[in-house]
């Protein structure tokens, strides 16, 4: 039985007990370095990380497999990877990158099952006459079509 198959059920059990938390990533290196990255619908507290860490660590035997364990919350500048992260960040400034290096930046205004929407203001030439006007733009992106999305300040 490999280490991942031991850690995953322990992690799932703890996340079921605290449904406001969700898993962003579980990495287990060749050197048995376990890294759990969490996020939450509200926030992830230090106590949340400690509780998850203890649930894993106290149910694994270091005499059988030596391991190191790190449980952290998703960082502020980390890319969004789960729909729940989009939901909790509605109203915040989001930078979205799509293939071919194009990017958009605006306020996250909506998040649905398959897509999300941002809005921003931009200066454009007047349709008639000289000068520019400020217009509000909106764009909806499929989660599957973006290469990166992160909150910016």
Give the tens place of pLDDT for each residue, 49-99.
999 999 999 999 888 889 999 999 998 788 999 999 999 999 999 999 999
Q: What is the pLDDT of residue 145?
A: 93
Mean pLDDT, to the nearest integer, of 19-34? 94
Range(s) for CATH 3.30.300.20 in the chain? 3-73
The pLDDT, as a whole number, for residue 62 is: 85
User: Which of 3.30.300.20, 3.40.30.10, 3.90.76.10, 3.40.50.1980 would CATH assign to domain 3-73?
Assistant: 3.30.300.20
Q: In the chain, what percentage of residues exceed pLDDT 90?
A: 86
Task: State the pLDDT at residue 63.
Answer: 85
In this structure, of 4-18, 44-58, 61-75, 103-117, the range with the lowest mean pLDDT score is: 61-75
Q: What is the pLDDT of residue 114?
A: 96
What is the second-level CATH architecture of the domain 83-151? Roll (2.30)
What per-residue confidence (pLDDT) applies to 1? 62
Task: Work out the average pLDDT over 12-37.
Answer: 95
Q: Quick one: pLDDT at residue 75?
A: 85
Residue ranges of the chain assigned to CATH 2.30.30.100: 83-151
Q: What own/partner pairs with CB < 8 Å and gap ≥ 24 does 43-49 have?
A: 43/73, 44/73, 44/74, 48/18, 48/21, 48/73, 49/73
DSSP class of 101: G
Output phi, psi for 137, to 5 deg. Answer: -115, 150
Sign of CA dihedral 66, 71, 77, 81: positive
């Amino acid at each position: 039985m490999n280490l991942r198959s031991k850690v995953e059920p322990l992690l799932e059990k703890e996340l079921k007990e605290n449904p406001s938390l969700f898993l962003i990533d579980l990495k287990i290196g060749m050197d048995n370095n376990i890294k759990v990255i969490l996020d939450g619908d509200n926030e992830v507290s230090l106590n949340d990380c400690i509780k998850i860490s203890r649930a894993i660590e106290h149910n694994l035997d270091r005499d059988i497999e030596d391991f190191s364990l790190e449980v952290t919350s998703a960082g502020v500048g980390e890319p969004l990877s789960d729909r729940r992260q989009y939901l909790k960040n509605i109203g915040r400034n989001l930078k979205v990158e799509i293939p071919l290096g194009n990017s958009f930046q605006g306020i996250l205004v909506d998040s649905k099952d398959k897509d999300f929407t941002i809005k921003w203001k931009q200066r454009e030439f007047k349709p008639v006459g000289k000068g520019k006007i400020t217009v509000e733009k909106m764009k909806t992106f499929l989660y599957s079509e973006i290469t990166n999305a992160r909150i910016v300040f």
